[in-house]
Amino acid sequence: MKVNITLCLLSICSCAFGQFIFTDSIRVENIDKMSIDRVGSVYLGDELGNVYKYNQNLQYESEFSPLRKGNISVLEAWNPLRIVVSYSDLQEVVYLDRFLVSENRFNLTIASSFVGIAAPSMDNNLWLVDFSKFSLIKYNQSFNQIEIERPFDLLLDPENYEITHIREYQNLLFISDKKSGILVFDNLGNYLYTIKALGIENFSFYGNSILFISKSYVHEIDLYTNKEKKWKAGSNLIMLVKNKEFYYLLGKKALFKAIKG
């Protein structure tokens, strides 16, 4: 039965996701966040705030269920020893170890009256998008103080924006806005440029490339040469991450492991 289900899923999605060759899949329900760590384990977050860990072969390993249910705004697992889960509605960041055991929490209201989205910095502090001040903040948790603050006024329309994801990677900070694209900053919060693309819900990285979905197309752009690969992915693809030659594609009802066709 399991083999038949897998074959059925792969058959359906070979049409739905375009130019991918699928090698494995699992059923999922109500998953809206995905991240991958540096050793290739895949993490999924559902609409109730639960986090699930799978190995590279999509075999279940462990899960985390919070005491208070909430919406995950950012799931960042690049460092497998310090997984960061940000809950915007709870105004809280939870830190998990590699077994998905909760080690500690940080109350975001200490830093701001309302944080829209938060993500870890490379020095184990926090990047915050402060909706109350409409600004980008870097917050030092050890000293409980703001280190960097940059207003968004000249970059985004305060009446027409929708920030969806934030991540620091290779000493650059990336913030996606559905209305304008992916804003790129240096590690001091200085604006550099914008990757123009609309409707971006999420993005990920592999090597020197950023990957995201815009208008049913997968985009893979080299951060240093600007060389871009682009291919049709279909309308059912929510997000993707990459490890070596494999892509992990999150759909509405299943997670797929695939190679590029």
Q: Could you tell me the strand order of the sheet in which 203-206 lies?
A: 203-206, 209-214, 217-222, 228-232
Q: Any residues with CB less than 8 A from the CB of 159 and at least 6 apart, and which?
A: none
CATH (residue range 2-260) = 2.120.10.30
**pTM of the full structure:** 0.93
Residue 18's pLDDT is what? 64
**In terms of DSSP bridges, do strands 254-260 and 72-76 run parallel, antiparallel, or are they unpaired?**
unpaired
Please report which helix (H) or strand (E) contains residue 12, including its range: helix 2-16
Q: Look-up: residue for tokens 């038949």? A: 4
The length of the chain is: 261
Residue 233's pLDDT is what? 81
pLDDT in 10s for each residue of the chain, 261 residues: 344 444 444 444 444 566 889 999 999 999 999 999 999 999 999 999 999 999 999 999 999 999 999 999 999 999 999 999 999 999 999 999 999 998 799 999 999 999 999 999 999 999 999 999 999 999 999 999 999 999 999 999 999 999 999 999 999 999 999 999 999 999 999 999 999 999 999 999 999 999 999 988 999 999 999 999 998 887 789 999 999 999 999 999 999 999 987
Residue 234's pLDDT is what? 74
Can you give the residue ranges of every domain in the chain?
2-260
Q: Any residues with CB less than 8 A from the CB of 216 and at least 6 apart, and which?
A: 232, 233, 234, 235, 237
Residue type, 14: S
Residue 17's pLDDT is what? 62
Q: Helix, strand or coil for residue 2?
A: helix
Residue 12's pLDDT is what? 41
Question: What's the first-to-final CA gap in the chain, in angstroms?
Answer: 27
